[in-house]
Amino acid sequence: MKLALNNISMKFDDITAVDNLTVTINEGELVCLLGPSGCGKSTTLFMLAGLYKPSSGKLYFGEKLVNDIEPEDRGIGMVFQNYALYPHLSVLKNIMFPLKMAKVPKKEAEERAIEMAKLVQIEHLLDRKPKQLSGGQQQRVAIARALVKKPNLLLLDEPLSNLDARLRLEMREEIRRIQQEVGITTIFVTHDQEEAMSISDRILLMKDGKYQQYSPPQDMYDFPENAFVGMFMGSPPLNMIPVMLNEGSITIKDTEQSFPNPLTINQALSSSNEALLGVRAEDWTIAKDTSEIRLTALVELVERIGRDTLLSATIGRHSIRALVDPEFTIQPGDAVDLTIRNDRFHLFDAKTEANLGLKNE
């Protein structure tokens, strides 16, 4: 089912939890709602679930306006962080519960519950009680229960945050597999950008209740529309260096260091000649003789992490972090000339934080 949020806002007294959000979610896609704590992710999900009624705006499921439709009439399945299983019921009875409420005959309900248990691979656990299950198994039960009524929309609110790191990785792949097998439109709330990157068709990134960007994960990483998006996606975070934009060149603020600007500046978005140069740690590399971009950095710390070497350095008085090939032997105290791979950098307006560079196709 396709969803549309048109100018949706949610106000609690003086707090605007969701501020004029407009977005369309395609049928069959898995969309992650991503953003820092308090940005309005759960509130958005609860409006989709019908647990909150938007203060303003229109919510459509397919062509149908659902603002006034009760949660139980929306055809949704929901999974929460804390599983919310019934402790005194067996796994089978937990999964059957929504069907029992809907007065589905017992035999049919049992068959459908077993079918769901197979889908989430817990058919060997049907007689156990929730407390006899691991966190990952409990979450599988919760997913089976959410899907047993064959909803048109699956809503998940931080479903993996109670699991340890390894189980999280396993379960996120499982959720993606189950979602694709069923083909159900799914909204998945998380504050973990890596989790969002790994499982979604698209990510909706929010901040302070406001839309920031809605893109496929790789686009969000490669083409952040503003500085917040650039900083939020990726680890270590995007390096941000204050610069001055002059005709055809970029000068690092408070230094004499500059280089020719290969990007076309979108003047409509530019409020002054002050900008932030955004460079991913992995896009720095040691300059060659032919490099047009060449910035001298003073190395403060050298850490070997896995395949790469992470340099903490300063350009002028601005701190940066760079992941470079360990073939270079670099010591703290060295001055190294860095360049930026394939002009892979961004320029953000210093005031509005909008990305000023036109997308390199």
Ligand X SMILES: Nc1ncnc2c1ncn2[C@@H]1O[C@H](COP(=O)(O)OP(=O)(O)OP(=O)(O)O)[C@@H](O)[C@H]1O
**Residues in the site for ligand X, rule: CB under 6 A?**
12, 15, 17, 35, 37-43, 191
43 near Mg ion (CB under 5 A): no
The least distance separating ligand X from the CB of residue 168, rounded to whole angstroms, comes to 16
Give the C-alpha separation, 259 to 262, whole Å. Answer: 9
The least distance separating ligand X from the CB of residue 202, rounded to whole angstroms, comes to 18
The least distance separating Mg ion from the CB of residue 319, rounded to whole angstroms, comes to 32
Residues 71-110, one symbol each (x = binds Mg ion by CB under 5 A, - = not), give ----------------------------------------
The least distance separating ligand X from the CB of residue 28, rounded to whole angstroms, comes to 25
Q: Dihedral, CA atoms, 41, 44, 46, 49, nearest 10 degrees?
A: -130
From the list Mg ion, ligand X, none, which binds 290 (C-beta under 5 to 8 Å, kind-based)?
Answer: none
- Based on CB atoms, which residue is closest to ligand X, 42 or 179? 42
- Based on CB atoms, which residue is closest to ligand X, 53 or 88? 53
Tokens, residue 41: 């992710």
Give the C-alpha separation, 325 to 166, whole Å. Answer: 28
Give the C-alpha separation, 200 to 188, whole Å. Answer: 8
Longest alpha-carbon distance in the chain: 79
44 near Mg ion (CB under 5 A): no
- Based on CB atoms, which residue is closest to ligand X, 80 or 348? 80
Element (DSSP H or E) covering residue 337: strand 335-340
Give the C-alpha separation, 289 to 285, whole Å. Answer: 13
The least distance separating ligand X from the CB of residue 44, rounded to whole angstroms, comes to 7
Query: CB under 5 A: which stretch of 42-50, 171-179, 214-222, 310-318 binds Mg ion?
Result: 42-50
Among 40, 42, 59, 141, binds Mg ion (CB under 5 A): 42
137 near Mg ion (CB under 5 A): no
- Cis bond before residue 236 (omega within 30° of 0): yes
From the list ligand X, Mg ion, none, which binds 40 (C-beta under 5 to 8 Å, kind-based)?
Answer: ligand X
Looking at the chain, how many residues does it have? 361
Alpha-helix residue ranges (DSSP H) falling in the chain: 41-49, 91-101, 106-119, 135-147, 165-182, 193-199, 217-222, 227-232
Tokens, residue 123: 């058919």
190 near Mg ion (CB under 5 A): no
From the list Mg ion, ligand X, none, which binds 37 (C-beta under 5 to 8 Å, kind-based)?
Answer: ligand X
Tokens, residue 80: 């929460």
Give the C-alpha separation, 102 to 348, whole Å. Answer: 53
The least distance separating ligand X from the CB of residue 87, rounded to whole angstroms, comes to 24
Residue 83: closest CA among 33, 38, 134: 134
179 near Mg ion (CB under 5 A): no
Residues of the shown chain interacting with Mg ion in the complex, contacts defined by CB under 5 A: 42
